[in-house]
Amino acid sequence: MTTNAPASRHPHDDPARPLLTTPFTARTDAREVIAGVDLTGRRAVVTGGASGLGAETVRALAEAGAEVTVAVRRPEAAEPLVRESAAVDGAGPVRTAPLDLSDLTSVDAFVRNWRGPLDILVANAGIMALPERTLTPQGWEMQLATNYLGHFALATGLHPALCEAGSARIVVVSSGAHLATPFDFDDPHFERRPYDPWTAYGQSKSADVLLAAGAHRWATDGITANALNPGYILTGLQRHLDDATMRAFGVMDDEGNLTPLPYYKTPAQGAATSVLLAASPLLEGVTGRYFEDNQEARLVTDEENPTAGVAAHAVDPRAADRLWEYATQALRTR
């Protein structure tokens, strides 16, 4: 593993800084990356933790001893996971709490009801490629509201609890879709430009990376934040894609059966990088970075037409600070 120097204000400001590497691979699963790590006494929140990557993240953290709150729109959907975890010897308690990230009233209620320190916040919940432009009551585009603004409101609302923990981690699940789409500060909610499902999704995922980069301001509070691309995985995230699109992607046969491609990961493998960032001692003190396949990703430029790595526009310190101020103002004027 590469030895880390203390994190700078913006890690990507130093082009000579070596990328952080780990002994794990794209095929390592979530339990393997924290094998032997004891999280007893640590408290975690995982948004969207009832299924897919979120459920695998919950399982790994709970089996390592953490107390995990599954924050979801329908808490009853997480009850099987609660019962499953309760039957695992040595697992920490798993609880549920209602949270709709597109509804700020729901986010506010979650924050008000939280008691005590919070060691780990995994911003995992998300929606992808809504076919039509859909707005929240605040007039926010739904993908941006759910994937980014709701998580920003949750993280800032829980800031005192994260501070209380003394050494807390925020993990933001982004996507390789961020590579093609910078954040559009002039028209983030598609009020003037034509709505495109993938542009909206990619923008929200660039915003997620910028959220982790912008959290540098919390480093003195003992809070670190990093973003990640989990890779290609078939989960409920694809629920808004029609069969024709799934077939065009090569992941559905003529009978409607899902057929993952060879490079696709299992949900447990997809959750590994989230769990690595949330709990591995290898990430102690690391902040403001972007990971994929359990390694820190290479910085790439738009001119490279990249398919992997982290885009310069998503870790631009000026954009990160500007987006933080934009979101802060948006919450004030909702």
Residues identified as active-site:
201
- Listed in sequence order, the DSSP H helices in the chain are 30-33, 52-63, 79-86, 104-113, 142-144, 150-157, 159-165, 197-214, 243-248, 267-270, 272-279, 317-332
Q: What distance in Å separates the CA atoms of residue 268 and residue 226, rounded to the nearest whole number?
A: 19
Cβ–Cβ < 8 Å for 278, 57: yes
Secondary structure in 3-state letters for 78-139: HHHHHHHHHCCCCCCCEEEEECCCCCHHHHHHHHHHCCCCCCEEEECCCCCCCCCCCECCCC
CA atoms within 13 A on the CB side of 84: 14
User: Using alpha carbons only, what angle is made at residue 261 by residues 270 and 233, rounded to the nearest 5 degrees?
Assistant: 20
**DSSP 8-state symbol, 43:** E
The Cα 12–Cα 299 span in angstroms is 8
3-state secondary structure of 46: strand
What span, in angstroms and rounded, lies between the C-alpha atoms of 44 and 61?
A: 8
